[in-house]
Amino acid sequence: MPSIIMQSLYTLYIIGLNLILKQFTEDAVTVLGIYYKLQTFFFIPLLGLQQVILPIISFNFGAKNYDRARQTLRCSILFSLTVMILGCAIFMAVPGQLLSIFSTKKEILDIGSTALRIISVSFLPAAFVIMFTVYFQGINQGISSISITLLRQVALLVPLAWLFHYKGLAFVWLTFPVTEFIALFFSLWLYRRKAPAPAAQKNAAPKVLPL
């Protein structure tokens, strides 16, 4: 269900963002479309990783090996954070060159260079949030996973973009990092409340009963 909802909501929030950006210029809408094409190079490995770790987390949760499930989460976050740091660095360093793959129009390059640099900051918290989403699915906390998805793509992204657009186009791009950081804090809060307690050491010395 979380995966189905996430894919369904993608279309809805893209429509909402396009309607907001269209109030400034059509070039801003074009920039958003280019961004979503570029970001797939960095998000696709994370989506693939989700498919890999979900059965591992589910198996260990079912076997009550909670420590192994937590270890899987930590390793996946480390991998995803590495990918996202790379993506953020590229977006920060060469936004113009990335945009020129799709368009050489000056207005698009100017708007897009600012947009990519601001949006790329959201990659860092997203590395955590994406992994927490699949972790909650694996430990049979689907409601928590859905809550994170709804918070990111319904409760925050489009409403914040609508509020920020009164300050100017640059603030609309700020919606992405603000949304991801709020989602990160929410995910950490859920993790502290919902995650199972660490399993006891299986190899602990047995108690010696008195004769």
Q: Specify the pTM.
A: 0.83
Q: Are 49 and 129 in contact (CB under 8 A)?
A: no
User: Rounded to 5 degrees, what angle do the CA atoms 164, 166, 167 make?
Assistant: 70
pLDDT for res 203:
45
pLDDT for res 146:
84
What is the distance between the alpha carbons of residues 1 and 136, in angstroms, rounded to a whole number?
A: 12
What is the distance between the alpha carbons of residues 6 and 149, in angstroms, rounded to a whole number?
A: 6
Our measurement of the distance from residue 83's CA atom to the centroid of its chain's CA atoms, rounded to an integer in Å, reads 12
Q: Summarize pLDDT for 38-93 with one digit per residue, the tens.
A: 998 888 999 889 889 999 999 999 888 889 989 999 999 999 999 999 999 999 99
Burial of 56 (0-12, 13-18, 19+ CB in 10 A): middle
Q: What is the dihedral of CA 53, 182, 140, 44, to 10 degrees?
A: -30
Please report, rounded to a whole number, the percentage of residues in the chain having pLDDT higher than 70: 88
What is the distance between the alpha carbons of residues 79 and 48, in angstroms, rounded to a whole number?
A: 12
pLDDT for res 5:
66
Residues of the chain with pLDDT under 70: 1-3, 5-7, 194-211
Alpha helices in the chain (DSSP H): 2-22, 26-62, 66-93, 95-100, 106-120, 123-138, 142-150, 157-164, 169-173, 175-194
